[in-house]
Amino acid sequence: MNLPSINPTATEAWNKLQAHFSEIKEVHMMDLFKDDTKRVNKMNVSWNEFQVDYSKNRVTDKTISLLLQLAEEVGLKKAIELQFEGSKINKTEDRAVLHSALRDFDSMKPEVKKALQKMKKTSNAVIKGTWKGFTGKPITDIVNIGIGGSELGPKMVTNALKYYGNALKLHYVSNVDGDHVSETLKKLDRETTLFIIVSKSFTTQETMTNANVIKNWFLQGGSQLDIEKHFIAVSTNENAIIDFGISKYNIFPIWDWVGGRFSLWSSVGLSTCCAIGYDNFEELLRGAHEMDLHFRNEDFSENIPVILALLSVWYNNFFSSETEAIIPYTQYLEDFVPYLQQAIMESNGKSVDRNGSKVNYQTGTVVWGNVGANAQHAFFQLLHQGTKLVPIDFIGFSESLYQHKKQHDILKANFFSQSEALLQGTYKQNAPNEFRSFNGNKPSNTIFINSLTPKNLGSLIAIYEHKIFVQGIIWNIFSYDQWGVELGKKLTNQLLSTS
């Protein structure tokens, strides 16, 4: 079955939202809090170890009601079911979108179960030192060779969960810039390094260029026969992999119903699995699956991804906010924004709707940010006193992993105070002068989580995956292709063939 294809601007809810926007656009949130003492409790969702407060948004009960009506009118419920049921909702590529099936242990596909068992066996062997290099030494370093979704997701999760790591040292090579791979190789010993080449087609230009550079470097000390002890492939192109010299036993699958930017849950996450151990990797999957169930089954009014997506549409399409910031208050999530930039902007950066017509409204948002409190000393001046309206997601944690209570109390104080300062500004206060005066009324969500565990990270990532899906449904676009990337690749190859 096809996804609903409804122009959102033609819905009753959209027209009501436009009229409502003209009534509310100048209203200050401080007055909304004053008029409704129960606002915080009403605009708050508690789920597992998550507390999501969306009360600091330029919305009223009526706004939320109309946004929920919009979700109903565009057929969001039906679309969610079509995705989870495996319909080929990626119509332009004739594919299903089933990354959620990679973490559904209750009804797991046999091929996924088999791949996970292979990941468990391989990661255990590498971690325990029973996987030996060509001179009999155990593996000390792992290099993931991939680009885009073959690097951003695994790298983000590996670094986010390094607290749960082991003695293995992880490296990620993505850029075709020769200096990047050269700097990485300087740190490595051929005898103790395992390379994981991640490319669905095993033809990705950047990945295979780096793979061949690394292979030639390896052969300066090892033989062609030794490659099978030091190279693994995550791909579908078995012939090309075997031609490269990799053993067929070292091939891990990836399926066409898994998009690259949503593939960290699959064999693409093998580097992460080795870095944190299989049990922690499985916890990551289970955390994501619990959010899948919440997204699929919870009423939209209490549904975290749906609420976040609707708020994003509200600012993008009515307030004309072109960007949104994501600020995680933990250094562990320093790669979270770059990961989300691909997931969000490659998905929803579209200007043709599901009917094949040019859209006459804004679609994907520009996503940016950095970790707090560093970001406060960089670009927060613009957020507080600048002329741009930038909705923000603050992500914080109740507990520090190393139990540094004093430092973590300071971090949490910053986390809460920034959203409060954006809300209040100096509204109705006597500022010393105009240079110290700012209106506040800047919207934000706070996502507060008990601690950064593999399970909670899985849930957090899944929140944003489903937010992307909801936005795409509302904007009536296909979120799971990326044809805009292809032209640049084609022109690159043309230039290289004529040089």
pLDDT higher than threshold 80 for residue 499: no
Rg (CA), the chain: 24
Amino acid 431: pLDDT: 79
Max Cα separation, the chain?
77
The one-character DSSP state at 352 is B
Instruction: Give the count of beta carbons closer than 10 Å to the beta carbon of residue 457.
Output: 24
Q: Which amino acid is at 430?
A: N
Token output for 223:
């033989």
Question: Given pLDDT bands bounded at 50, 70 and 90, which one contains residue 433?
Answer: confident
At 429, which CATH number? 3.40.50.10490
Q: Do residues 311 and 457 both lie within one domain? A: yes
Are 124 and 84 members of one domain? no
Query: Is residue 493 in a domain?
Result: no
Per-residue confidence at 246, pLDDT binned at 50, 70, 90? very high
413 and 289 within one domain: yes
- Three-state DSSP class for 250? helix
Domain boundary among 255, 276, 297: 276
pLDDT tens digit sequence for 117-136: 999 999 999 999 999 999 99
Q: Are residues 186 and 169 in the same domain?
A: yes
- Domain assignment present for residue 3? The answer is no
Domain count for the chain: 2
pLDDT digits (tens, 9 = 90+) for 168-217: 999 999 999 999 999 999 999 999 999 999 999 999 999 999 999 999 99
Asked if residue 149 belongs to a domain, the reply is yes
**Domain presence at residue 298:** yes
Provide the strand spans (E) within 122-243.
141-145, 169-173, 193-198, 231-234
pLDDT tens figures, 293-352: 999 999 999 999 999 999 999 999 999 999 999 999 999 999 999 999 999 999 999 999
Compute the mean pLDDT over every residue in the chain, rounded to the nearest whole number: 97
Q: How far apart are CA 370 and CA 327, in angstroms?
A: 6
Q: Tell which of 248, 276, 304 closes a domain.
A: 276
Does residue 270 sit in the same domain as residue 409? no
Give all strands (DSSP E) within 100-163, no chain letters.
141-145
Judge whether 143 lies within some domain: yes
Residue 491, domain member (yes or no): no
Any domain includes 492: no
271 with 288, same domain: the answer is no
Same domain, yes or no: 133 and 225: yes
Q: Which domain holds residue 214?
A: 104-276
Residue 1's pLDDT is 82
Asked if residue 73 and residue 111 are part of one domain, the reply reads: no
The residue among 252, 276, 300 that closes a domain is 276
Q: At what angle do helices 76-85 and 454-474 cross, to 10 degrees?
A: 120
Q: How far apart are CA 319 and CA 325, in angstroms?
A: 15
Which among 292, 343, 342, 344 has a CA at the least distance from the CA of 316?
Answer: 344
pLDDT at residue 403, rounded to an integer? 95
Give the pLDDT of residue 5: 96
Same domain, 70 and 184: no
DSSP state letters, 295-350: HHHS-GGG-HHHHHHHHHHHHHHTS---EEEEEESSGGGTTHHHHHHHHHHHHH--
pLDDT digits (tens, 9 = 90+) for 14-53: 999 999 999 999 999 999 999 999 999 999 999 999 999 9
Catalytic residues: 346, 377, 489
391-411: average pLDDT:
97
State how far the Cα of 469 lies from the Cα of 454, in Å rounded to an integer: 23
- 495 is a domain residue: no
